[in-house]
Amino acid sequence: MRLFHFSDDPDIQRFVPRPVTTPSPRRPGEAWLNGPLVWAIAETRDYLYLFPRDCPRILLWATPQTTTADRELWLGTRGGAVAAIIEQDWASRLARAEIHRYDLPPERFEDLNDAGMHVSRHPVIPNGVETLRDLPGHLAARGVELHTVEALTPLKTLWSTTLHVSGVRLRHARGWR
């Protein structure tokens, strides 16, 4: 298994645990997830972070519980694996962005069993870093179908479907709050 951390900084020599910028509501016993941690994503879900850092986005994919109706409505009849939805204002930034993918040692991390997310409570030295350009091309290569919309706010109802829905940096979405 490979784990990655994505950043706009190409020169990180050591990742130090830090609290999240915007704490999330957590289930009982999980408040520690807002505390000082180093976050990583499994290679199988790294497409969640193939975007400029502050780009608000919603990604969705089918699970074994997904209904045929939800699959066809949101992922199409072609059987697309993953859909990524961003606001139109971000499309040109995505097209010209570059990000840095840090390869991290998996033995330093705990699996959260949540969409490929892993955390470390200890400092982590990366194994290496790679600069990624043509992010839409990287998304397409991973089977992610990219969609743009005027605003993400009308898509809040996605969380009541039978799909897995991940929202990232939604605080930057137009009118989200």
> What are the extents of the domains in the chain?
3-172
What is the pTM assigned to this prediction? 0.88
pLDDT digits (tens, 9 = 90+) for 85-136: 999 999 999 999 999 999 999 998 999 888 788 999 999 999 999 999 999 9
Cα torsion at 142, 81, 112, 37 (round to 10°)?
40
Distance CA 123, CA 114 (A): 22
Helix extents (H) in the chain: 68-70, 91-96, 135-141
Distance CA 126, CA 123 (A): 10
pLDDT digits (tens, 9 = 90+) for 25-82: 778 887 777 778 999 999 999 999 999 989 999 999 999 999 999 988 888 766 668 9
